[in-house]
A = this chain, B = another copy of it.
């Protein structure tokens, strides 16, 4: 992998975007919506462990960026659908590359951590 000389400068230029993606829940939400729109409660179930407050916050931020759309249906009980935009669907490919890397190396990383922690324990 070769980077042109100004690669890092350009990385900085897009830091504002990376900050958004580099969020604990963003990737999970985008992947959850890969197969089509979901309602708020469906996202909540699919993404185990997220609280409604944080889900709302993250969804609003993604809507703001144009990664997904939020559609309110005038019904009772209320219904709100979240769906990836083209921009969001474009994001699936790079996210998938990260996911593949993570899956391929997850086991190795876990053992690395264990070894590191053991070594640290020895020093005490």
Chain A residues proximal to chain B, CB less than 8 Å: 1, 3, 7-8, 10-24, 26-28, 31-32, 34-35, 46, 48, 63-66, 87, 89-103, 105-106, 108-110, 112-113, 116-117
Min CB gap A28→B, angstroms: 7
Task: State whether B97 touches A94 (Cβ < 8 A).
Answer: yes
Task: Specify which of A10, A65, A98 lies most central, judged by the most chain B CB atoms within 10 Å of its CB.
Answer: A98
Closest-by-CB residue of B relative to A31 is B11
| Residue of B27, B64, B98 touching A112 (CB-CB under 8 A) | B64
Interface of A is mostly: helix
Q: Is the CB of A90 within 8 A of B101?
A: yes
Given contacts A31-B11, A89-B1, contact A109 B17 (CB under 8 A): yes
Q: How far is the CB of A38 from chain B (nearest CB, A)?
A: 11
Provide the residues of chain B in CB contact with A21, threshold 8 Å. Answer: 22, 98, 102
Q: A11-B31, A13-B106, A32-B8 are in contact. Are A93 and B87 (CB under 8 A)?
A: no
Chain B residues within 8 Å of A113, by CB: 64-65
Report whether A14 and B99 are in contact in the complex, using a CB–CB cutoff of 8 Å: yes
Nearest CB of B to A26, in Å: 8
* Min C-beta distance of A32 to chain B, whole Å: 6
